[in-house]
Structure 1
Amino acid sequence: MYDPIFWQLLDIRDPEVISLGLGEPIFNVPDPVKEGVIEAIKSDFTHYTSTRGIPELREAIAEKLKAENFIDVSPDNIIVTCGTSEALFYSVMAVVNPGDEVILPDPCYVSYPPYVAFSGGKVVYVGLNEDKGFSIDLESIKEKITDRTKAIIVNFPSNPTGAVLSKDDARGLAEVADDYGVVVISDEIYEGITYEERSYSPAAFSDNVVTVNGFSKAFAMTGLRIGYVAVKNEEILKGILRLHQYSMICASSISQKAAYYALRYSNDSVKWIVEEFRKRRDLIVNGLNKLGFKCPKPKGAFYVFPKIPDWGLSSTEFVVKMFKEAKVAAVPGIAFGEHGEGHVRFSYSNTIENIKQALDRLEGFIANNYALQRGAKAKTS
């Protein structure tokens, strides 16, 4: 699933464009994280660390997982990685062999299909239940499982939909993993950004789960490239560790220290970030619904995934036209899978002023295009 429109958004240079496309927090890292970086440098903590990660960080992660996610895992079963992308990629590589099938939700994050392809696996898509807030459909997943199915990858809170995983669905997914002998790889990078209700971890109900999380989103630490994987299965753990050791040696010592400070001293900053996102979410949801989109209120992450009104445009055509005429950037839903067609992903990780201006531009863009449609209809009547 390669979509050039998606990756071109990473290289927008036009200062007039308001980008509601990128998945990066607009906020700066919390002050305690900065202090951790400074302390690491001042104390010359700039050498290789243990391949698994520094002990104090892995202990802090284990405590966090037990207290917040109800996952009881030893620090020895945690590997600190260079971001969650590495953790996810190597989790797939450690689990999937050539010819194995991997079930992916549709829509899903754009990097999952390439991860499966690099491992020699085959992607099997299962549509999310749009009528129920893009929740997983456990019965459909069961129907897709064959004797070649090796893993199921899920991402909650979801990119691109903003959906969360309910407790019942998390337990049900764990039961599927145990009953059918497949591994669930759970991408939980947005877990720290939820609103009215939390998102649950499948690993709270099964040991047959690889949990991936990190510090990029809730702590706004994208550039520090620090994440982790927690897994009780020793064979999978060893596979991930070998891949990490021979490719990365270890995660950045400075970033590890920053991550430790994030967990120990930055909870108030995360609460503030979530509340700021909540304001932006409510603003963009209300604005898009007034403009004619069907935009449900997401429960997590910082994306909305509204349905485009019936204007006779594909999601790609709409996004390109909006970019050219309104100077607003977003991501077409088709970039995330066939079930994403007819939708567009807007990120509300931007200033409130920019979101308001983007909505104003969209209002003018829609009015102009409606006028053009009415004029075309009048000429043909």
Structure 2
Amino acid sequence: MDSAQDAGISPDDVLVTAGAAGALFIISTSLLSANDHLVVIRPNYATNIETPRAIGCAISFVDLAFEEGFAIDVERVKAALRPDTKLISVTCPHNPTGTMMSRTELDALVALAESSNCRLLVDETYRDLSYGRRLPTAASLSPKAISVSSLSKAFGIPGIRIGWLITRDAELQEKFLAAKEQIGICGSVIDEGIARGML
């Protein structure tokens, strides 16, 4: 779906997973080790915190505040980075507040990941519920960005467990595919058939 909507993304950049949770687990276990650090913009989906914590990663949190409209302060994210930072994690539209980043903020986070030689993970599970002009899929903006989404929330079919991750980094996608094959070999063709019909 995202490969048809955003310039620069091809079907080869998309890996179908067991829901967004499966995609997030693949990303954390493929990218992170106990020697790594990540920055989590919080609140965030629990898998983006608990899986890295189980791996033993050091985590720095950049907390969003009601008083600031849950806006992301890119300078605070930059200040939280360390030489061993492997990943910056954010949700957009934000879960649970529903707030949206601006295109300027998204571009700034992408540029920060590029300049820091780390990855930007954008959990875009609520993207198809956003109003007005949508942000581009983050992965379409840079090989350093990884996008995750699913049919669970916006499409209301969480039970079929269809999600996906997108990266334009072919080498990284091979690593993600290898992880998927170790975890679940392949997806359910019945679920994928339902998903295709829904889309």
Q: Give the TM-score category using the shorter length.
A: over 0.9
Q: Does 1:194 align with 2:130?
A: yes
Q: Alpha-carbon deviations, 1:266-317, whole Å to 9, x = none?
A: xxxxxxxxxxxxxxxxxxxxxxxxxxxxxxxxxxxxxxxxxxxxxxxxxxxx
The equivalent residue for 1:11 is none
The equivalent residue for 1:110 is 46
Contact kept in structure 2, 1:73 and 1:232, CA below 8 Å: yes
TM-score relative to the length of structure 1: 0.50
1:259-278 counterparts in 2 under 5 A?
259-263=195-199
Contact kept in structure 1, 2:45 and 2:95, CA below 8 Å: yes
Q: d(CA) in 2 for partners of 1:207 and 1:133?
A: 30
How much does 1:196 deviate? 5.0
Q: d(CA) in 2 for partners of 1:253 and 1:61?
A: 20
- Which ranges of structure 2 fall in alignment gaps of 5 or more residues? none
Contact kept in structure 2, 1:186 and 1:211, CA below 8 Å: yes
Q: d(CA) in 2 for partners of 1:254 and 1:63?
A: 22
Q: Who wins on radius of gyration, i.e. which is larger?
A: 1
Q: d(CA) in 2 for partners of 1:162 and 1:203?
A: 20
Q: d(CA) in 1 for partners of 2:170 and 2:178?
A: 12
Q: d(CA) in 2 for partners of 1:156 and 1:129?
A: 15
Instruction: Give the superposed CA RMSD.
Output: 1.7
The equivalent residue for 1:155 is 91
> Which has more helix, going by share of residues?
1
Q: d(CA) in 2 for partners of 1:133 and 1:258?
A: 38
Which residue of 62, 70, 78 corresponds with 1:134? 70
The equivalent residue for 1:237 is 173
Contact kept in structure 1, 2:34 and 2:56, CA below 8 Å: yes
Q: Does 1:250 align with 2:191?
A: no
TM-score relative to the length of structure 2: 0.92
Q: Alpha-carbon deviations, 1:221-270, whole Å to 9, x = none?
A: 1101000111112332122111110121111101111222222xxxxxxx
Q: d(CA) in 1 for partners of 2:163 and 2:25?
A: 12
Deviation >6 Å, runs of 4+: none
The equivalent residue for 1:164 is 100
| Structure 1 pair 147–228 and aligned structure 2 pair: CA distance change class (3 A) | same
Contact kept in structure 1, 2:33 and 2:57, CA below 8 Å: yes
The equivalent residue for 1:91 is 27
Percent of paired sites with the same residue: 29
Aligned partner of 2:158: which letter?
A: T
Contact kept in structure 1, 2:140 and 2:168, CA below 8 Å: no
Q: d(CA) in 1 for partners of 2:28 and 2:70?
A: 24
Contact kept in structure 1, 2:15 and 2:165, CA below 8 Å: yes
Contact kept in structure 1, 2:113 and 2:144, CA below 8 Å: yes
Q: d(CA) in 2 for partners of 1:108 and 1:231?
A: 20
| Bigger Cα displacement from structure 2, 108-117 vs 245-254 | 108-117
Q: Alpha-carbon deviations, 1:113-156, whole Å to 9, x = none?
A: 11112333111101225344212110001111110111011101
1:258-337 counterparts in 2 under 5 A?
258-263=194-199
The equivalent residue for 1:63 is 4
| Structure 1 pair 167–81 and aligned structure 2 pair: CA distance change class (3 A) | same
Which residue of 37, 43, 60 corresponds with 1:124? 60
